[in-house]
Amino acid sequence: MELLPADYVLLGFAFLATATGGVCGLSGIIAFASALGLSVFSAFVLWPFALARFDTPWAAALAVFVAAIVVYAIVRAILKKTVNIMMSQPSDSILGMVVGFVLAVGFVYAWARTGFFAEHSSIVTGVSAYVR
């Protein structure tokens, strides 16, 4: 199997996600994903209120963005400290590496499942034969 440029990007992403998971640990990944989800949810909830309160959509968008960043920072800090207290450091790093690698594999699976531009990657082309 000949690797195409997109395959090198996928392998680099897998390495980066695994290394980042090892450095941040499972607590960092859980805190990031949860905080990101809650901040996006809060932005969707606050958008109608901000449009009614501000004169221009740009001002409303800026207010919602700042509120989402504040929600993200608070939730991430609370969750990271809570999960760090419950888990020891070596197991946190190992589980973070596993979750990072699973994230990269999930990305390849999702790409193969959709089939968009699959011809640009030998890895995705090989995987798509099994997931369709």
pLDDT of residue 87: 67
> Which range is least confidently modeled, 19-23, 73-77, 104-108?
19-23
Report which of 12, 11, 33 is spatially closest to residue 99, judged by C-alpha positions. 33
Mean pLDDT score of the chain: 84
Model confidence pLDDT, tens digit, residues 32-72: 778 888 888 888 899 899 989 999 888 889 999 999 999 98
pLDDT of residue 66: 92
pLDDT of residue 8: 87
Model confidence pLDDT, tens digit, residues 66-93: 999 999 889 888 887 877 777 667 888 8
For residue 13, pLDDT beyond 80: yes
Tokens representing 10 are 């996928």
For residue 27, pLDDT beyond 80: no
Domain boundaries of the chain, sorted by first residue: 5-126
80 near 24, Cβ under 8 Å? no
pLDDT of residue 53: 92
